[in-house]
Amino acid sequence: MVKDNNKQQNKTNPILWFFFAIVIPFIVAVTLTIIIFTVAGVDVIGWAKSTGNSIPVVSSMITTDKEKNEQREEQKTKNIIATKDEKISQLNQKVSNLESTVGQLEQEIVKLENSNSDENKSESETSDDAAESGEDSIKAISSSFKEMDSEQAALIIENMEQDLAVGILKKLPNDVRGRIFEEMEPDLAAELTQLFVTN
């Protein structure tokens, strides 16, 4: 038992001796050196960063101010890209919604045209009925434009044939028509206005 205690003391003594004789004095000497150089006006931390940055293994652990700035810029760029991607997905969703609305309106037009063409009447009655049914279909479509968002309505009208677009615009109230013209491209709005006035 006594021998075991002596062996254990002999094992811990070299470890304690190494700690108190080498490690602690080294830490004290480094600390005093840093304090003296700092008081003397030397930028010890900056020198340590630049020296440590040139050492291969240590450089991976040290980040300089330049690297920090680059990381900040990279993060800002990633945030900007994420924001732009989100806007793009929202705009793509809006485009698909508008395309589906255009598709529904075109189907409605086709249905109305088919229902009118199936009727068997004389030429004069057919032309009168076609004009009236065309008017009815334009009235029906223009009523859906009254309730629609003016930006969506402008995009849909921009993609229509000009005669049909003018016919629909004539059936709309002045304030609704004005909001739709406001959302259009200026050149197209001017062209449709001229057709609106001359027809």
Name the pTM for this structure: 0.35
Query: Residue 167's closest CA among 191, 141, 190, 130?
Result: 141
Q: What is the pLDDT of residues 58-100, one digit of tens each?
A: 666 666 667 778 888 999 999 999 999 999 999 999 999 999 8
List of E strands, 15-131: none
Q: Is pLDDT of 133 > 70?
A: no
The pLDDT, as a whole number, for residue 120 is: 47
The pLDDT, as a whole number, for residue 20 is: 81
CA distance 144 to 158: 16
Tell me if 82 sits within 8 A of 137, measured CB to CB: no
The pLDDT, as a whole number, for residue 180 is: 84
Q: What is the pLDDT of residues 1-49, one digit of tens each?
A: 555 555 655 556 777 778 888 889 999 998 998 888 888 888 877 777 7
Q: Greater confidence, 129 or 31? A: 31
CA distance 82 to 191: 39
The pLDDT, as a whole number, for residue 78 is: 93
Place of tokens 């009208």: 157
Q: Please name each of the domains of the chain with its CATH number.
A: 95-199 (1.10.220)
